[in-house]
Amino acid sequence: MIETLADFPDNVLAFVCHGQVTKQDYESVLTPAVERVLQNHDKVRLYYETAPDFAGIDPSAIWEDTKVGLGHLARWENFAVVTDVEWIRHTIRLFSFLMPGEVRIFSTDEATQAREWIVQ
């Protein structure tokens, strides 16, 4: 499940992932939120966190993530990824050179710093 987080500026998309993330989560939560924010901003920042109960991402959800990211490639500004899931950390490091803007990875203990960084 993807949950939208409140208390971020309107140019920051902020999400936390719980349990198993599915294609439906992207279609009903993340993608509509991206489209709404992009109507009002040329550049958008992303805060993406995995909760302690995060169980994984379905392959179809990974494809949706790729489509959303590439579909608006020039409009992403910065990315804060908060996770202790090693395969996510490694994947982000591996592909960060393809992402526009700066990408920073934070541990879950550093979530406060990640939130502060993404809004500055």
Mapping DSSP to helix (H, G, I), strand (E, B) and coil, where does residue 46 land? Answer: strand
- How far apart are alpha carbons 31 and 37 in whole angstroms? 10
- Which has more pLDDT, 19 or 98? 19
What's the pLDDT at 63? 83
Q: Kindly indicate the confidence band of residue 101, based on its pLDDT and cuts at 50, 70 and 90.
A: confident
Helices and strands in the chain, H and E counts? 5, 7
Domain region containing 108: 2-119
- Which has more pLDDT, 98 or 61? 61
Reported as half-sphere exposure (CB side, CA atoms, 13 A), residue 101 has a value of 17
Q: Find the CATH number of the domain harbouring 111.
A: 3.40.50.10600
User: What are the backbone angles phi and psi of residue 114, rounded to the nearest 5°?
Assistant: -65, -45
Check pLDDT > 90 for residue 4: yes
Number of folded domains that form the chain:
1
Condensed to tens digits (0 to 9), the pLDDT of residues 7-57 reads 999 999 999 999 999 999 999 999 999 999 999 999 999 999 999 999 999
pLDDT mean over 58-75: 82
Check pLDDT > 80 for residue 105: yes
